[in-house]
Chain A
Amino acid sequence: MAKITLKDLSHSYLAKQYNNADWALRGVNIDWKDGGAYALLGPSGCGKTTLLNIISGLLKPTSGDILFNDKDVTKLNPVERDIAQIFQFPVIYDTMTVYDNLAFPLKNRGLSEIDIVTKVKEIAEMLELTSTLNNRASGLTADGKQKISLGRGLVRSDVNVIMFDEPLTVIDPHLKWVLRSKLKELHQKINRTMIYVTHDQTEALTFADQVVVMHEGQIVQTGTPVELFEKPKHTFVGHFIGSPGMNILPCRIKNGEINFEGKTLSSNISIKKTSFNKTQIGIRPEFINFSKDGIPVKINRVSNTGRHKIVDTNCSSGNIKILLKASSEIPSGSAHITFNQKYTYVYGDDWIIE
């Protein structure tokens, strides 16, 4: 059980770095609270797995420190850090039985036979593996094998953190749901810090209390699923979370006023800095409505997803998607729209201006 702090963590797989693209991680700073359920969300190649392997000690960071309960562990190996990690593909010891697989991490740590038996039985019970305990692990199905991997992570009671690296990739969709609920349930039961890496927003949002969004080696936002949805701090979060993602459109800032499509948007933010390379406004499709007057748009296409209608429109600045209830009336041809001011944000060089 531990609080985990990452300080100015950077990592590169190359010997020499010339630009940002050469870094897998760039200046990561974050506190993971003890007992929290976190999701690390981002597209493939954004540095999630690198970050995870650095926390577990499988990788040594190029620079920066890792602290467990304010104690520096940067130089310690995975065993000394006392962590558990579950990988994308089930890792099982083929020649061992299910029982021996689960007992393996405990045996390596020199626990007594009685302790091992109790622990393994307890975990097997939790993961519904009791009936297969004496079978050879190699004969199990993919989800059975992944349960063993999970079990080996959960069987040790002293771990500081349990990390999951896209653990449900190889599992059938209907079992994914079951296993994910199981994990959530386990988190509540054993109350240990858990970090769950995924590129699937549904998985992240259903598992975690706090979602950490990564983009090109940086953490762009940490927050609850609601915060990420309602107030994305980076245009990437707006894009990546939500379906369809946030509308991001170019705007101009003049004398502290936001000018979009020739209209001044009223807003209560004060813009001090003006020297941005690009300025954009962001509005989620959920927070746009048709109105009598406002921004003129042309309606291109309406798709019905069952519960919602997604309206594709365009104005002179670009495409705007609007999400409305399935029962809504959609005007045809051209129309006017207004943005819900509360959820309209301004981004300077992709970061929110507040």
Chain B
Amino acid sequence: MNKTINQKAWYFVIPVFVLVAFNAAVPLMTVVNYSFQETFGNNVFTWEGTRWFKQILQSDRFHAALGRQAMFTSIILLIQIPLGIGIALTMPKKGWGVPVCLILMSMPLLIPWNVVGAMWNIFALPDIGFLGHTLNAIGFDYNFTQQPGDAWFTTILMDVWHWTSLVVLLSYAGLNSIQPAYYQAAEIDGASRWAIFRYIELPKMKKVLTLAILLRFMDSFMIYTEPFVLTGGGPGNTTAFLSIDLVKMALGQFDLGPAAAMSLIYFFIVLLLCWVFYSLMMRNEEKS
């Protein structure tokens, strides 16, 4: 049977094409445009070549922001992934506890980013906030607005509170899809609890965990609103992660060229790391 060839079908793609152009391609190209030129307004541009890229890549400020970002993302991944799996493992599999746990777990995910930031800001205030006040009352010298260590601690705690649920829900879904026969077989084979986790649960959760790690990596690497509301990047620049630094450069200092170059570099780093993560985690999948 011959396939009917009808190129008119392409017309159906036009709406999507227009939509994607407006929400992705056009803004991205504007950024590309800015990144190679200098402007002082009035739509007057002068060609700068790769100057902004070189400047950003060599700047200590960018290196420091990137370092803070890498540190932050690593810490929250190291906490949230094991913690999420752990919580998912202890959640009930049937009975009335299931909906209760699921609803409790979904709650933080439903709260808007800026509200989370504001909540934690008030919660952690050293004089009136419940957390801040309690910590000081029991003898810790805690003040997230002035001490970098405390600011980091609070930001990480906030992110763990907000996003661990995502890992929990994904892991829980993965765990629930395991056939009971696997546990029964393991019981008969005399497997220890650790062996069951290591050889049954973890491999069966691999796909959802890959997803969880990718999502958490991307989100945390691009985090903006919550730390902006909580610490505003301070004290000093100690919690100014990449996107906070980028906004400072673009809107605070109005250095549009360097900021555009930085956005592109930022974008490529995220893309590259996602690709690396994904290929690493899916490496064995393709072999078999």
Contact = CB atoms under 8 A, between A and B. Distances in A.
Interface in A288-305: none
A95 B203 contact: yes
B187 interface: yes
B188 A83 contact: yes
Contacts of B195: 108
A79 B199 contact: no
Interface in A59-106: 77-79, 83-85, 87-89, 91, 93-96, 104-105
A221 to B, nearest CB: 29
Residue of B190, B192, B284, B287 with most chain A CB atoms under a 10 A cut-off: B190
Contacts of B288: 136, 138-139
A201 interface: no
A93 B187 contact: no
A91 B190 contact: no
Interface string B264-288: 0000000000000000000010011
Contacts of B179: 89, 91
Contact of A89 (B181, B190, B200): B181
A85 B191 contact: no
B287 A136 contact: yes
A56 B189 CA distance: 12
A78 B187 contact: yes
Contacts of B187: 58, 77-79
A85 B182 CA distance: 11
User: Is chain B's binding surface mostly helix, strand, loop or mixed?
Assistant: helix
A149 interface: yes
A91 B184 CA distance: 10
B184 A85 contact: yes
A67 B181 CA distance: 24
Contacts of A94: 203-204
A93 B178 CA distance: 12
Contacts of A147: none
A31 B195 CA distance: 35
Interface residues of A, number: 26
Interface in B196-220: 199-200, 203-204
Nearest to A88: B181
Given A91-B181, A94-B203, A138-B288, A109 B188 contact: no
A85 B199 contact: no
B200 to A, nearest CB: 7
A141 to B, nearest CB: 12
A284 interface: no
A85 B181 CA distance: 10
Nearest to A94: B203
Contacts of A83: 188
A149 B185 contact: yes
Contacts of A93: 199-200, 203
A78 B192 contact: no
Given A109-B190, A136-B288, A87 B199 contact: no
B232 to A, nearest CB: 46
Contacts of B185: 85, 87, 91, 149, 152
A84 B181 contact: no
Given A87-B184, A89-B179, A108 B199 contact: no
Contacts of A95: 199, 203, 284
Given A93-B199, A95-B203, A108 B188 contact: no
A108 B192 contact: yes
Given A79-B188, A136-B288, 11 more contacts: A53-B184, A58-B184, A77-B187, A78-B188, A87-B185, A93-B200, A95-B199, A95-B284, A108-B192, A138-B288, A152-B189
28 contacts: A56-B184, A56-B188, A58-B188, A77-B187, A78-B187, A79-B190, A84-B188, A85-B184, A85-B188, A87-B184, A89-B179, A89-B181, A91-B181, A91-B182, A95-B284, A96-B199, A104-B189, A104-B199, A105-B190, A108-B190, A108-B191, A108-B192, A108-B195, A109-B190, A136-B284, A139-B287, A149-B185, A152-B185
Interface of B: 179, 181-182, 184-185, 187-192, 195, 199-200, 203-204, 284, 287-288
Which 3 pairs between the two chains have the least Cβ-Cβ distance?
A: A108-B190, A139-B288, A91-B185
